[in-house]
Structure 1
């Protein structure tokens, strides 16, 4: 475990629009063992390992944000569980749970490594995880992920259940691909006691194929669901951007994340750090601050905090996601796997 240079109380992180930043999403790798068609191209060039923050650097950086009032840490990727010795980081960060300075330590995963790591995650203080799952059909799963095996993910979900981890399913709504499975995904999730959230595909990074071919507005999905389900608006908040309803027929919760049709920027409480130590104040903007340089230059905690404060001044009022219908190109060239899912 790393040794903190000081334990002095710090002022809370508040952006220039008065929004408190209490949620940090940290990518630990841009690598993934799948190649989902909406996330990346099949033949990807990944970052040199020397460019990635070490686990010790990630620990110090996350702890610097905890010092400033961040109450929720989400570890992401790429696929975070393919990072060598990643459980060490969860174990190191768990001290903030034990001290009461952190409310939640969690992760988003594709589920491929859950059978191996579910029990270790639980033992490190993780109580809740998000698992990305866009289809329940094995052939379709392989087509969406290019390399994936649905049975492996199902075994991972069984391991998560056995370990006592609470699971939420994340499903990207893809036009012409899985829109006929929306009801099945809801039933599957709620039958297992999981929440499920549907997400609109976002125009991040060059992929093989067109964004317009994938984009399915969740306003359409929700309207279709009303033909078969009773959706009751509820005040549930998981700390992220999803808006939730309860499906009366199943009793389960259903969320919608709508960066394209209805953005959620007015209540944004999040910032993101990439696996290279770049702080992005918004997933949909390019304004960023390099935190790796002060980390590797041996900067004091005060200098690191000053760099974080610089980032807060850059946090925009909102994102500008739009799919360019003329050129059919992404809003940003940066892949989601680089920023963190």
Structure 2
């Protein structure tokens, strides 16, 4: 069930379960943990951060690999089945292969964790094979344009060829499916929807368009400049026949078969068509803060308990309390919505 962007509300202190699955007051069972490995990034995408970047987290504040793995082990015991490694840019982390290997070795009640990653692709040409051998199942790679010049304009870096090489390396290494995440911006690359889909179909990648969200470091997001999911679908339908795939479940992307074949394209319309009612995700920031929603303005501090000899039971209690207090929805479309103080690079996608 999708909720129509319900206004965040607090109906009183939520009872915190002491056992069983990670379920919130709305009955949503949480199975997906997004773990940010770093807030640093080697691109400067215009919709994410200013040209000069944003203030980075202090290195001592970042979770160590042992701390990160401990949180994931506890979460797996509580029913988390998938871990998505994010950033910033996760491939910047020097021990990223070791992180993948250690996380992939963790099992919960439902078996081994599925480990995936969202990346800008710059390090994949070098790391795709060792990451796959370490246990990484698949990757989502950000690519907003097929034009080298536009890529440099959007990312403020001339690294288009490196990203393409990284995507090809991921596919060759067996990271499947390779998903491509694209954000369209009005007047910049909004004429490339069909071209991007044709390219993805030709190479066997799964394309997903994502509405631009109010999570940029410069707080310059404007609704009028956002290309909506409806606009994206309309542009694609001028050249392709799209048939909705039923059974979306908790997936953020609404998926469509392309021209009646097996290939699919996805649209993540977080702003205009929220899917909060089925959300099963939690997010752990690189500095050890647990977030129940990408747009949450509050966080639960796990780093402090990890560094003060806290027990696993204490960590579990914080995780359960965070889930129990999760709001009905992000409320972007409600009066009074405030963008989270942290940008996407510091939250982790």
Please say whether Structure 1 and Structure 2 have the same fold, judged by a TM-score greater than 0.5: yes
Do the aligned partners of residues 316 and 238 (structure 1) sit closer, same or farther apart at CA in structure 2, a change above 3 Å counting?
closer
Match of 2:278 in 1: 267
Paired residue secondary structure (1:184): helix
TM-score, length-scaled by structure 2:
0.89
Whether the 8 Å CA contact 1:52–1:276 is kept in 2: the answer is yes
Whether the 8 Å CA contact 1:241–1:257 is kept in 2: the answer is yes
1:76 and 2:59 equivalent? Answer: no
1:331 aligned residue (336, 339, 344) = 339
Alpha-carbon displacement from aligned partner over 1:259-305 (angstroms, at most 9, x marks no partner): 11110001011111100111110111213211111111111111111
Match of 1:180 in 2: 191
2:153 aligned residue (130, 143, 158) = 143
Question: What CA distance in whole angstroms lies between the structure 1 residues aligned with 2:247 and 2:101?
Answer: 29
Do the aligned partners of residues 238 and 109 (structure 1) sit closer, same or farther apart at CA in structure 2, a change above 3 Å counting?
farther
1:225 and 2:233 equivalent? Answer: no
Deviates more, 1:194-203 or 1:90-99: 90-99
- Tell me the CA shift for residue 213 of structure 1: 6.1
- Tell me the CA shift for residue 198 of structure 1: 0.3
1:15 and 2:15 equivalent? Answer: no
Alpha-carbon displacement from aligned partner over 1:122-145 (angstroms, at most 9, x marks no partner): 101112110010001001001111
Do the aligned partners of residues 236 and 255 (structure 1) sit closer, same or farther apart at CA in structure 2, a change above 3 Å counting?
farther
1:38 aligned residue (20, 36, 47) = 47
2:290 aligned residue (232, 255, 279) = 279
Alpha-carbon displacement from aligned partner over 1:207-243 (angstroms, at most 9, x marks no partner): 2855346411111121222222100111365953111
- Tell me the CA shift for residue 168 of structure 1: 0.4
- Tell me the CA shift for residue 332 of structure 1: 2.4
Whether the 8 Å CA contact 2:76–2:113 is kept in 1: the answer is no
Whether the 8 Å CA contact 2:61–2:287 is kept in 1: the answer is yes
Alpha-carbon displacement from aligned partner over 1:20-56 (angstroms, at most 9, x marks no partner): 0000001110000001111111212111111110111
Question: What CA distance in whole angstroms lies between the structure 1 residues aligned with 2:250 and 2:80?
Answer: 12
- Tell me the CA shift for residue 252 of structure 1: 1.6
Match of 1:111 in 2: 121
Unaligned runs of 5+ in 1: 1-8
Do the aligned partners of residues 132 and 143 (structure 1) sit closer, same or farther apart at CA in structure 2, a change above 3 Å counting?
same
Paired residue secondary structure (2:112): coil
Question: What CA distance in whole angstroms lies between the structure 2 residues aligned with 1:132 and 1:324?
Answer: 31
Paired residue secondary structure (2:106): helix
Alpha-carbon displacement from aligned partner over 1:44-72 (angstroms, at most 9, x marks no partner): 21111111101111111111110100011
Match of 1:62 in 2: 72
- Tell me the CA shift for residue 321 of structure 1: 1.7
Whether the 8 Å CA contact 1:59–1:93 is kept in 2: the answer is yes
Match of 1:294 in 2: 305
Question: What CA distance in whole angstroms lies between the structure 2 residues aligned with 1:16 and 1:330?
Answer: 23
1:160 and 2:174 equivalent? Answer: no
Whether the 8 Å CA contact 2:243–2:258 is kept in 1: the answer is yes
5 Å-filtered alignment, 1:198-217, equals 198-207=209-218, 209-212=220-223, 214-217=225-228
Match of 1:4 in 2: none
Do the aligned partners of residues 98 and 110 (structure 1) sit closer, same or farther apart at CA in structure 2, a change above 3 Å counting?
same
Match of 1:3 in 2: none
Paired residue secondary structure (1:180): coil
Unaligned runs of 5+ in 2: 1-17
- Tell me the CA shift for residue 148 of structure 1: 4.0
1:124 and 2:138 equivalent? Answer: no
The CA RMSD measured in Å over matched residues stands at 2.2
Deviates more, 1:64-73 or 1:316-325: 316-325
How many residues of Structure 1 are paired with residues of Structure 2 in the alignment?
330
Whether the 8 Å CA contact 2:81–2:108 is kept in 1: the answer is no
